């Protein structure tokens, strides 16, 4: 693991998620930018002394030469370090699991995409919400044409944890600093998730967007609210709202898609259910672990219906799929097709493009800006 | 009553709503454009023979001369007839209750506004959703500054009854015909309600909008889906989604407002509750008839909490408020201030301006268009 | 109308409900036990002077002789007066609409049943919750065997308005006084509704019960909480909880029925939906006014789906059905079968039997007590 | 681990739960009654060869002598083996984590209680639902007297997976066999959980019960539906419904408690929220990870509000608390008081007593039966 040391949030989440399905063991890491503290943190996690690294460069160099080298590295640093860290491990021949957004510039994102293509190494981007079984169910139903031609895609991701100036706060600080977060605030932190789900589930490609960004809290350098119009290939229309100042919203990611024959609605805070409304029939509530589910949804489930799985289990699914992709790579075989739903570097490039397009649109008073 | 004859939907609703609180009695009407059928319909409703009118012009003329003349006329025709009918009664000195949108052109809307101003007659526009007690509660809480400065306003009104071409259908036909409905489809039929609530509750004024309109059903002349960005005075931002092709949505009008200190969420299909989330505290669910309500919410309620009131009761509230406004006018006294929450001709002008601005914005690829 | 004067709750509800569908007009009444105030109240309601009665006896006598006599009387007094009032009007040949519970003793209930049978007059008991369309839908689905053989019936009716001693309160006072309310507190006031729905929807007959009653508020003479086990014919089992001290519950009437093939769940505070869970399939949410409904549910609806109808509309349905029963009686024809779903005197006898059995069971430490 | 081999459900759950918080490592086990398959299963889990045991007796004997012996054993067999297995490890000086119900007879339960008392070894019973943060929050609020004196406790646990005869099914088979499950069907499998939560949260002790049991599926030897009345010390009254034939219910465990000053409602399928209704105020929704929570609820949480935790995380909490109890035991110090909320052998005895009392009550036609 690279990053995820003292005071980090998402690093600990990655470690829990990786443990649940017993497919990964943490054996090496460079956890903090301060080399001494990085080593100490490795000790606290119980790593062997020679695998508590001072920095990711020495870790990539050293691990690539070990006979028991790591199967993959998990990169959970602030955004601005994703590119160099990922590049170092790819160059060392080591598969990468990387947090989103992929990079802070489209140039870097494309660079990583080329490196992945050239190396043919597995690269997994933790758009973790796509690991939810009912998100995969929604995608499967759309692929099976149960909605008919898609007309409308409504996505939103609303939180309130940045509704005030938090003062000194490790999580808020780097996310609010363009040098470390990149050009997007809520855009990079949460809107990319909503954007990814929109395309992942609808199977459409967004062609252009018009973005009206705000920074409501005084002194904030990046956006904390994004109101975005979307146009998809084939004529579908969408809206995407991302906010970190929506008082009362904890982690309100929702996706609603309407087609000629029916509609689908899902909300991350009640992730176990997916409501399908076939036009002219009573709505049906599909439940994780329950009847009527597609193989891809069943693949992503551990417990019977009614025994709630949540955020960690969806995140674990990305790690389990990653394990299969790495195993298949090592075994020189094709992976289980169901594992290939895990997002990769292409999704990462797409996310960075989305951020850059939204920022560009905003600079031109929400003018339509293309996403290709 | 003018309009609301055979096959009409909203006319029957007005009549039910007017009965509930026993403040109005239907005594005269011109119900259909066909004079014979209009008279027959009046007979069916049990009106006295001399008050079953062939058309609204003769009704206005005749009623204005009767000693027992009507206290007010209720105009429930298709949109294009609102202006001439309303004008006829105003000119005859008779107060008007009119369905929305006020008119099909801004010119006509302004003309009515001037006529109302000149005549000083009560004029009530049935933006019926503003009669819901919890909508009035939301407005009262914002007036009491419980949300602090408003930052974000999210409004939506989604239905699915026009998701397919309905063939010959009296309700769909006039709503889809620019000559009778005006320039807006979903815009005029439902988006105006959402727009009205946005301003009515937030106490903000929308300054400009950017609108991306669609007509998803082939052959349709007017919009059936509207994705709109809003900018309010004081810097608040909003989104408004109106759709009549959202499969599975029956009458999904929702309003969510977020300020510096808290957020409010309300949905018309569960109108009895209003969720208030003060920042940093557990959300509280205010219930109609329950504890903690403002006088304006209590004023609009008939039954104890838990005995659901709904659409007709909210509509009835507009009629009851109208009754008080007419009584006060007749008595030459100031009306109960709580009754003055009923929308009027100014709200009607605002709604028509909203429709025209959205259509204009759309013609310029969703360019920002001012609302003043 | 008999009863429903100053300070009464349910009388005003009856009047609103009777108005909605425009089938009834209030023309006569004896509203209060004090003759002077009764007449004054009639004046306030705008009745003709000769039909503002001093008491129900003179009303029955006088109305029975008028050529324009009332079509039916609505009895909305405290429970102990139902019997004599109803008997007076039945004896005068006038149909009766009576609030529940029918009487305060089984003897009186049987007496009324005999009087109805002998007179062949329409007699409608306002178990108003059975007027909800989705309750009628549930009944229709069970009649169509969509649940298979019924196994479990769970009913509850929980409120909190009597969680404390209310001091002097007109509504609480008579309901807490055995001389006026009869032997049941929550039993008569609300449990009878839940019991009626249990049988009305399930189409089963409860054979015996075991009741554990409590009076939690000190000084209270009647039960304010009832925990009841039920055994139905055919082997189904049930539980019924009625409480007026359940803090936070406004009017929480719910009914859940489970059979071999599926389950149904309905809650009065969200009356527009009925969830049907066919075993082994995703649950379906039936909505009032929406697709898939039985004729009996469609019969009881006024507005399209998503335009909430509520308590008053369900109550209005009982009045509309009553109107059809009275019209058919007057016309000497069979009524519309859909109107015959309105509860009658037999349901009333059953409710009183339920109260008496529960009280008897409680006196024997919740011993099983038969209901026939 | 003892039990949890091929085809077992709960064993795999225990292993996932134990991994999440990284406090336990699985190093030894006897997983199946067939010795060969037990060893093979240990191999599949990657255990060292000398710790893949043929049976629990040899495991207890061997582990107790190792310097690196296990810190605790987790017993996840069918019910009838809990007693002898647990006894074997307790006698060998090894702490025990045991699934519920504790044993199949009260005699065995008491025997274990004595063995625990004598040995002073940690003994944790996996009433896993008590690991939910919002359950602990509910308990803390009642301890803080926010509800006042408790009056009513309503518990239910409804499923539908046994609504039909499942034929040959490993999970259903032993649960339906009195020799392996004990005298309770739904009683032992699920009602004990609801009963435990009732007492755990309310801080009351149930004094007596009246139970009406059913076996709706033909050929079934044990109850599949239990309707139970409860009387608590101090006068509170309760109902407990447990069913495995409630079509449409997946894992519907709910708890509702009403006191003089307020009510609390929680449902396991939406475990992240707890609704608190202070009498006379709007209800407040407490959310895991959100504002206003007690230390015991914060202690049991990993993620911020809105990132759903579920069944596995609640189960993990019991394992984490067990880890602290074992560490404290090994260190001869008092454990963190928050970890002592984990259920123990006393709760286990109480659960067995509940089962036996319910069976006894049922044999006497639901006569009141004492629980002490």
Phi, psi angle pair for C16, to nearest 5°: -65, -45
**pLDDT for residue B7 is more than 90:** no
Select from A74, A97, A128 the last residue of a domain: A128
The answer to the question of residue A175 being in a domain is yes
Tell me what pLDDT residue A171 has. Answer: 82
The answer to the question of residue A338 being in a domain is no
Q: Tally C-beta pairs within 8 A across A and B.
A: 132
The chains found to touch C (3+ Cβ pairs under 8 angstroms) are A, B, D
Tell me what pLDDT residue A166 has. Answer: 87
Q: Where are the alpha helices (DSSP H) in C21-175?
A: 35-44, 56-65, 82-91, 106-119, 133-143, 170-175
Q: What is the pLDDT of residues A199-243, one digit of tens each?
A: 999 999 999 999 999 999 999 999 999 999 999 999 999 999 999
Do A72 and A60 meet the contact criterion of CB atoms below 8 Å apart?
no
Whether residue C159 is found in the same domain as residue C113:
no
Q: Which helix (H) or strand (E) holds A113?
A: helix A106-119
**pLDDT for residue C8 is more than 90:** no
Tell me what pLDDT residue C42 has. Answer: 96
Q: Do the strands B73-75 and B96-98 form a parallel or antiparallel pair, or are they unpaired?
A: parallel
Provide the CA D352 distance to its chain's centre, in angstroms: 12
A287 touches chain C (CB under 8 A): yes
CA distances from B113 to B57, B102, C312 (A): 20, 10, 36
**pLDDT for residue A50 is more than 90:** yes
Q: What is the pLDDT of residues D312-349, one digit of tens each?
A: 999 999 999 999 999 999 999 999 999 999 999 999 99
Which residue in B160, B258, B365 is closest to A279 by CB distance? B160
Tell me what pLDDT residue C171 has. Answer: 83
Do A198 and A206 meet the contact criterion of CB atoms below 8 Å apart?
yes
C366 touches chain D (CB under 8 A): yes
| Stretch 60-89 of chain A: residues touching chain C, C-beta under 8 Å | none
Whether residue B171 is found in the same domain as residue B248:
yes
Whether residue C61 is found in the same domain as residue C45:
yes
What residues does B158 pair with on adjacent strands? B243, B252
What integer best gives the mean pLDDT of chain A? 97
Whether residue D107 is found in the same domain as residue D178:
no
Chain B residues in contact with D284 by the CB 8 A cut-off are 281-285
Residue D303: how many other CB atoms lie within 10 Å: 21
Chain C residues in contact with B19 by the CB 8 A cut-off are 19-20, 22
The chains found to touch B (3+ Cβ pairs under 8 angstroms) are A, C, D
Work out how many domains chain A is built from and give that number. Answer: 2
**pLDDT for residue A336 is more than 90:** yes
D261 touches chain B (CB under 8 A): no
Which residue in A9, A19, A308 is closest to D311 by CB distance? A308
Average the pLDDT over C279-302 and give the result: 98
Q: Is the bond preceding residue B229 a cis peptide, omega within 30 degrees? A: no
Whether residue A177 is found in the same domain as residue A61:
no
What is the spatial distance between Cα A25 and Cα A37, in angstroms, rounded to a whole number? 22
Average the pLDDT over B320-324 and give the result: 98
The answer to the question of residue C69 being in a domain is yes
Do C240 and C228 meet the contact criterion of CB atoms below 8 Å apart?
yes
What is the spatial distance between Cα A95 and Cα A92, in angstroms, rounded to a whole number? 9
Q: What is the pLDDT of residues B323-363, one digit of tens each?
A: 999 999 999 999 999 999 999 999 999 999 999 999 999 99
* Structural domain that includes position B79: 10-128+340-344
Whether residue B144 is found in the same domain as residue B234:
yes
Chain C residues in contact with D210 by the CB 8 A cut-off are 210, 212, 229, 366
Q: Which residues are CB-contacts of D165 (< 8 A; sequence separation ≥ 6)?
A: D217, D218, D219, D220
Whether residue B206 is found in the same domain as residue B252:
yes
Tell me what pLDDT residue A361 has. Answer: 98
Question: What chain C residue is nearest to D281 in terms of C-alpha separation?
Answer: C248
pTM for this predicted structure: 0.97
Whether residue B145 is found in the same domain as residue B102:
no
Do B189 and B245 meet the contact criterion of CB atoms below 8 Å apart?
no
A266 touches chain C (CB under 8 A): no
Smallest CA-to-CA distance from A239 within B358, B252, B242, B257 is with B242
Q: What is the pLDDT of residues B238-297, one digit of tens each?
A: 999 999 999 999 999 999 999 999 999 999 999 999 999 999 999 999 999 999 999 999
Q: What is the pLDDT of residues A165-189, one digit of tens each?
A: 988 888 888 888 999 999 999 999 9
pLDDT grade, residue C317 (50/70/90)? very high
Do A63 and A294 meet the contact criterion of CB atoms below 8 Å apart?
no
- What the block records as the tokens of A292 is 């009527």
Q: What is the dihedral of CA B262, B268, B270, B273, to 10 degrees?
A: 40
| DSSP string computed for D15-49 | HHHHHHTT------BB--SSHHHHHHHHHHTT--G
- What the block records as the tokens of D140 is 């803390």
Q: What is the pLDDT of residues C15-55, one digit of tens each?
A: 999 999 999 999 999 999 999 999 999 999 999 999 999 99
The answer to the question of residue C260 being in a domain is yes
Smallest CA-to-CA distance from C285 within D274, B273, B288, A265 is with A265
- Return the residue matching tokens 């100014």: B346
CA of C152 vs chain D CAs: smallest distance (Å)? 7
Select from A88, A107, A128 the last residue of a domain: A128
B163 touches chain A (CB under 8 A): yes
Whether residue A251 is found in the same domain as residue A283:
yes
The answer to the question of residue D181 being in a domain is yes
Per DSSP, the three-state class of D371 is coil
CATH of the domain at D57: 3.40.50.720
Residue D342 backbone class (left: φ over 0; alpha: ψ -120 to 50; beta: rest)? beta
Phi, psi angle pair for A70, to nearest 5°: -60, 145
Tell me what pLDDT residue A1 has. Answer: 96
Tell me what pLDDT residue B173 has. Answer: 87
Per DSSP, the three-state class of A157 is strand
Chain C residues in contact with B310 by the CB 8 A cut-off are 307-310, 313
Whether residue D35 is found in the same domain as residue D88:
yes
Whether residue C158 is found in the same domain as residue C273:
yes
B304 touches chain D (CB under 8 A): no
Tell me what pLDDT residue D168 has. Answer: 84
- 3-state helix, strand, coil split of chain D in percent (to 5) is 40, 20, 40
The answer to the question of residue B190 being in a domain is yes
Q: Tally C-beta pairs within 8 A across A and C.
A: 34
pLDDT grade, residue B172 (50/70/90)? confident
Residue B205: how many other CB atoms lie within 10 Å: 14
Q: Which residues are CB-contacts of B84 (< 8 A; sequence separation ≥ 6)?
A: none
Run means of pLDDT, 10 residues per run, chain D, 372 residues? 91 96 96 96 96 97 97 96 98 98 97 98 98 98 98 98 90 89 95 98 98 96 98 98 98 98 98 98 98 98 97 98 98 98 98 98 98 91
DSSP state of D125: E
Percent of all residues in chain D with a pLDDT value above 90, rounded to a whole number: 95
The answer to the question of residue C313 being in a domain is no
Tell me what pLDDT residue B178 has. Answer: 92
Whether A281 sits inside 8 A of C287 (CB atoms) is: no
What is the spatial distance between Cα D222 and Cα C53, in angstroms, rounded to a whole number? 64
D285 touches chain A (CB under 8 A): no
Do D345 and D325 meet the contact criterion of CB atoms below 8 Å apart?
no
DSSP state of D187: I
Average the pLDDT over B98-125 and give the result: 98
Q: What is the pLDDT of residues B129-138, one digit of tens each?
A: 999 999 999 9
Which residue in D9, D20, D272 is closest to A20 by CB distance? D20
CATH of the domain at A242: 3.30.360.10
The answer to the question of residue C138 being in a domain is yes
- What the block records as the tokens of C30 is 């004896």
Tell me what pLDDT residue D173 has. Answer: 87
What is the spatial distance between Cα A160 and Cα A163, in angstroms, rounded to a whole number? 5
Average the pLDDT over A129-133 and give the result: 98
Whether residue A105 is found in the same domain as residue A222:
no
C52 touches chain D (CB under 8 A): no
Chain A residues in contact with B246 by the CB 8 A cut-off are 152, 256, 258, 263
Whether C312 sits inside 8 A of B20 (CB atoms) is: yes
């Amino acid at each position: 693991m690279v990053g995820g040391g003292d005071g980090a949030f998402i690093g600990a989440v990655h470690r829990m998620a990786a443990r649940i399905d017993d497919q990964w063991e943490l054996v090496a890491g460079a956890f903090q930018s301060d080399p001494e503290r990085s080593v100490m943190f490795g000790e606290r996690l119980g790593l062997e002394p020679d695998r508590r690294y001072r920095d990711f460069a020495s870790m990539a160099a050293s691990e690539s030469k070990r006979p028991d080298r790591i199967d993959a590295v998990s990169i959970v640093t602030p955004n601005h370090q994703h590119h160099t860290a990922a590049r170092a491990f790819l160059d060392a021949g080591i598969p990468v699991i990387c947090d989103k957004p992929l990079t802070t510039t489209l140039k870097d994102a494309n660079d990583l995409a080329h490196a992945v293509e050239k190396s043919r190494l597995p690269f997994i981007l933790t758009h973790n919400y796509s690991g939810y079984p009912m998100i995969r169910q929604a995608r499967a139903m759309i692929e099976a044409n149960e909605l008919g031609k898609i007309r409308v895609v409504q996505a939103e991701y609303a939180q309130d944890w940045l509704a005030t100036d938090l003062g000194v706060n490790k999580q808020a600080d780097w996310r609010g600093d363009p040098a470390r977060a990149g050009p997007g605030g809520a855009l990079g932190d949460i809107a990319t998730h909503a954007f990814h789900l929109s395309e992942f589930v609808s199977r459409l490609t967004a062609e252009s967007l018009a973005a009206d960004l705000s920074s409501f809290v005084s002194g904030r350098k990046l956006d904390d609210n994004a109101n975005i119009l979307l146009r998809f290939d084939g004529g579908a229309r969408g809206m995407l709202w991302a906010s970190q100042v929506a008082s009362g919203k904890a982690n309100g990611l929702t996706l609603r898609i309407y087609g000629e024959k029916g509609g689908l609605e899902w909300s991350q805070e009640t992730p176990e259910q997916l409501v399908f409304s076939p036009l002219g029939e009573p709505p049906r509530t599909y439940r994780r672990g329950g009847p009527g589910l597609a193989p891809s949804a069943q693949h992503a489930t551990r417990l019977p219906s009614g025994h709630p799985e949540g955020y960690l289990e969806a995140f674990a699914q990305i790690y389990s799929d990653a394990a299969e992709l790495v195993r298949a790579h090592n075994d020189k075989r094709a992976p289980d097709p169901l594992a290939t739903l895990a997002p990769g570097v292409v999704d990462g490039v797409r996310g960075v493009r989305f951020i850059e397009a939204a920022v560009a649109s905003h600079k031109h008073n929400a003018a339509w800006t293309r996403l290709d």
